Structure 1
C-alpha cells in the first residue's frame, strides 16, 4: 500500500510597495484567487503534471498586485484575515508554499511578509515545512528566514525565470517532505548594499557573473538551494538591503556557499551600473531624434508602475508635448505609454474614435512634480476590458500618440500597443514608463536610453533621502568599512529565533 501523499497548502500576498510614492494600495488591487482557482496560476500544477501528482495541493488565497504605494492597514487586515481563516479551515497540512514578492510595505508594519508568516505559523503549527518563493527585489530579514524552512528567489532581472523559480520552490518542498530528514540548515548573510534593479540587471556584468555563481553554489553537494536578493531600493525600511540565503542538509556546504555569494556581491558593488545609457529626458529625446535607429525607446523611469510608481506623474509627458518637433501630425511618430486619467478616458469614449477632444489627465495621486495635464487631440482608439487599465484610449496630439488609461497599466508587450492600433516597430520613438526594457521591448528596440525623471521610483537613490535604512549602506556611505560577511546560521522554524537583526 502506497504512502499517503503530503498535503500542501499554497498561500501568499505579493506587491512591491514604494514608500516614496503618495499612492496607497487597496485590497482589490491584489486580484485575490481562492481555493482551487489558486492552482490554476501555476502551469506545473496542472492536472497530469508530475508535481501535481506528488502531493495533495490545496489552494488557500494568493493575491498579487501591480507594484504601487504602501498597502493600507485595512486592505492588509482584510486579505490576511481571510487567508488565515481559509487556512484554518483546511485542517492538518504537511507543507505550505509561501508565494510572495517580498517588498510589501503595509501601514504600521516594517516586515509584512514575516508578520504574515508568523500568523500562518500560529495557525498551522510549528512542524509544517514552509518553502517560500520570492522576487530577487524582495527583502529578507532574519525573522523571515527563521519562519521558513526553504527560501529561494529569481535568478534573472528582467525576471524571465519567474515561473521556474516558483516551480523550484514547490519541488524543493515536495522533496523535503518525501525525504523525511531533518529540517534544512539555513545560512543567511545581510549585505549592506541597496541598489536599483536597473543597476543590477543580469543582462550585463557584474550581475551576470554574480548570479551565475548562484547556480554553481546550488548545485554543490549538501546544498538544496541558493539565492541572492538585491533588495528593494524604493522602500525606506530597516530590512531593505541585499541578502544571501543558502539552504541544505550540510552546514559546512551552505556556510561556504553563502559566504562565496555574499563576498561576490560585495566585491562587485562599485562595478554595478545602469543597464542602458542614461540622461535627462530632453537629452534622451535629442539623441533619439538624431539617431537613425528605429524604433528608438526612451524609458521614463521615475514613474515606472512596475517598480511602484503612481503612474500618473505628468512631468515627462509635459516635456514631450512641449517639443516643437512633435507639434505637427506629420512630425516623427511618438508613442507614449501611459497616463491614467479616468475623466479623460470617459470623455474620449463618449466622443468616439475620430473625434477631437480636450481632456485633462494625471497628477491625481502624485502631483509633486507637475499638475494635471490638459491636451487637445484626436481619439485614435478605444479599448475596454484590460485587467489593469480597465479602459484604454489613444489620443493623437500632433505626432504623439498618448495612451490614457482608467487605471494605471504597464506596457511590456507588443500586443499592448497593437491592441490599440499602434505599431511600435514602425514608430520613430517609443516612450514607456519603465526601467529596464522587458524582453519583448528589448528585442524590438534599435536604440534605447533611460531618462532619469522624477517620481516615486526615482533612479537617483541619493535624491530620495532614505532615513530609516540601516547604515552604513553602500552607495549611501561609499567609504564605509568592509562588513561582516560571515554566515549566520538561522535557527530552525520550530525553534526559537536567536541572534540580532543585523
Structure 2
C-alpha cells in the first residue's frame, strides 16, 4: 500500500487598501491552528473519500476583515510561523495555500508573492502548491511561478468560498496521485475594476464566469479561473488575470487565452450593480421613494468607506449628509446608519442607562477626511455584544439610529441590526458601509442606490492617486491595445 500523501494547510487572508489610512494589526485577525484549523474544512469532517488517505498538516491560518495595509511585524510573525511549522513537519508532498490574494504589507509590493517564495524555499521545488483565492485578488508572476495550481471564487457576492477551497484541495490531491506536475498558463488583463462593477449577478460578469465550467470540462484542462484583481492598491501587480491549469499544455494555454480575450472584450460593458450618485443625490431618491411601500426599506451603500473592501469604517461624510436632512433629524423619516467604528465613543456611553441623553464625538479618528469627527446629541437607544463588532451602541438622533462599534465590521447580516433593536423592514432608509448588497440585505431591500462617497475604497477610480500601477490600464487609460500574451509553465 502506498504511503499517505502529506499535505500542509495554512495562509494569511486579507485584502488591503493602500489608499486607506487604517493599519491592520494582529488585533484585527482571527487566528486558527491545530485541530481548530483542520475543523474549518468540511471535507475533513467527516473525511471525504478523496481526502481519506491524506495526512493533513495544520500550520496557521490568519484571517481578517479587509482593511488597510498590514503592519510588517504582524505579517512577518505569521509568515515565520508558517515556515517554521513546515520545517518541523518534515517533508511534505504538497501545500494548500488558503489566501485572499490582495494583502498589502507596508513597504512591500507583493505580499502573497513574498509568502509563497518563503514557503517554496522551505519545502523545496518538488512538492506541489495549490492556492485558493478570492476573485478580487491579484496574480503576480512570482505567485504564478511558485504555485502549481491556482483557483478562485466564481461568484460575487461570494457564495462559493468553501467550494473553492475544496476544489483547490481536490485538484492538489488528484495531481499528486497522478504524479504529474500540471501545466499552467497565465494571461494578465490590463483592467482595474471595483467589485461593484463585477457582480456575477449581472452581465457581463455573469456570462464571463458562467463560461468557466464548460472550459474546465475540456479534455486536458483541470481548472480555469478569472481574477478581477484588486483596484484599491497602488501596486504593479494589481490588474485582471486569467489562469488555467491542465494536463495538456495546448488545451491549457488555449483556455487561458480564450477567457483572457473575452474578459478584455467585455471591458466597456461593466457597469455598477445599482444606480449611482452622490450621497445627496441618493438621499433625494430615497426620501422621494418612501411613500411607495414596495420601495421600503430603501438601502444606500456608503461605498467609499466600505470595511468589506478595506475602508477605515469611520469616515463621517455620509452620516453628516443624513443629519443635514430635516425630515430625518426631526423624526419624520425613520432611518439607520450602519456604522462607525469608534471604541472610545462606545466606552463613553455604553454603561449609561438605556434612554439616557448622550453627547458623544464619533468617527474621523482613523480616516479624518471631511467633515471629520461629528458630535452626536441624542438618546442611548441600545447596547449589544456583536461577534464581529464587539460592544456596540445605537444612538438615536431624531428619526436616525446611528450604530457605533468597538471593532470594524460590516453590517451585512440582519441579525446584527436586530441585536440593536432594529428590524430593517420597519425602517424607511438604511445607509450601510458596504458596496454591493450582501445576500440578506439584497433580499430585504425594497430599492437600492450605490453612493459614490469618499474613502479609502472610492468606487470612482479616476479620483484615486495612482502612481505605481502598470500603465496603460483600463479605465484610467482607454485608447490602447492590450498585451494579452499567454505565459506558460
In the superposition, the TM-score normalised over structure 1's length comes to 0.95
Shift of 1:268: 0.3
> Which residue matches 1:361?
362
Find out whether 1:321 has 2:320 as its counterpart: no
Find out whether 1:467 has 2:467 as its counterpart: yes
> Which residue matches 2:199?
201
> Which residue matches 1:452?
452
Q: Partner of 1:374: helix, strand, or coil?
A: strand
Q: Residue deviations 1:458-487, cap 9 Å, x none? A: 01100002110001111111111x223231
> Which residue matches 2:312?
310
- For the 8 Å contact 2:188–2:485, the answer to whether it is kept is no
- For the 8 Å contact 1:18–1:456, the answer to whether it is kept is yes
Q: Residue deviations 1:357-377, cap 9 Å, x none? A: 111111111002221111011
- For the 8 Å contact 2:314–2:366, the answer to whether it is kept is yes
- For the 8 Å contact 1:135–1:153, the answer to whether it is kept is yes
Q: Residue deviations 1:136-155, cap 9 Å, x none? A: 00000111111000000011
Shift of 1:316: 0.9
1:131-170 matches, cutoff 5 A = 131-170=130-169
Find out whether 1:9 has 2:16 as its counterpart: no
1:148-297 matches, cutoff 5 A = 148-180=147-179, 182-291=180-289, 292=292, 293-297=295-299
Find out whether 1:299 has 2:301 as its counterpart: yes
Q: Residue deviations 1:162-191, cap 9 Å, x none? A: 1111110011111111222x2111100111
> Which residue matches 1:27?
26
The structure-2 alpha-carbon separation of the partners of 1:51 and 1:312, relative to structure 1 and needing over 3 Å to count, comes to farther
In the superposition, the TM-score normalised over structure 2's length comes to 0.97
- Between the aligned partners of 1:424 and 1:304, the Cα distance in structure 2 is 19
- Between the aligned partners of 2:82 and 2:30, the Cα distance in structure 1 is 13
Shift of 1:351: 0.8
> Which residue matches 1:126?
125
> Which residue matches 2:337?
336
> Which residue matches 1:423?
423
Q: Partner of 2:360: helix, strand, or coil?
A: strand
- Between the aligned partners of 1:435 and 1:51, the Cα distance in structure 2 is 38
Q: Which runs of 5+ in 2 are unaligned?
A: none
Q: Partner of 1:425: helix, strand, or coil?
A: helix
- Between the aligned partners of 1:243 and 1:137, the Cα distance in structure 2 is 10
Q: Residue deviations 1:178-233, cap 9 Å, x none? A: 222x2111100111011101011111111111111122111111000000100000
- For the 8 Å contact 1:369–1:454, the answer to whether it is kept is no
- Between the aligned partners of 2:51 and 2:417, the Cα distance in structure 1 is 36
Q: Which deviates more from structure 2 when the two are superposed, residues 156-165 or residues 46-55? A: 46-55
Q: Partner of 1:350: helix, strand, or coil?
A: coil
> Which residue matches 2:73?
74
Q: Which deviates more from structure 2 when the two are superposed, residues 250-259 or residues 375-384? A: 375-384
> Which residue matches 1:111?
110
Q: Residue deviations 1:295-326, cap 9 Å, x none? A: 11100000000000000001110111111011
> Which residue matches 1:407?
407
- Between the aligned partners of 1:179 and 1:301, the Cα distance in structure 2 is 46
- Between the aligned partners of 1:380 and 1:288, the Cα distance in structure 2 is 24
> What number of residue pairs does the alignment pair up?
485
Q: Residue deviations 1:267-305, cap 9 Å, x none? A: 000111001000011111111111121111100000000
Superposed CA RMSD in Å reads: 1.1
Shift of 1:45: 2.1
Q: Partner of 1:224: helix, strand, or coil?
A: strand
The structure-2 alpha-carbon separation of the partners of 1:442 and 1:54, relative to structure 1 and needing over 3 Å to count, comes to farther
Shift of 1:119: 0.6
- Between the aligned partners of 1:109 and 1:54, the Cα distance in structure 2 is 39
- Between the aligned partners of 1:252 and 1:83, the Cα distance in structure 2 is 35
Shift of 1:51: 4.6
> Which residue matches 1:484?
483
Shift of 1:84: 1.4
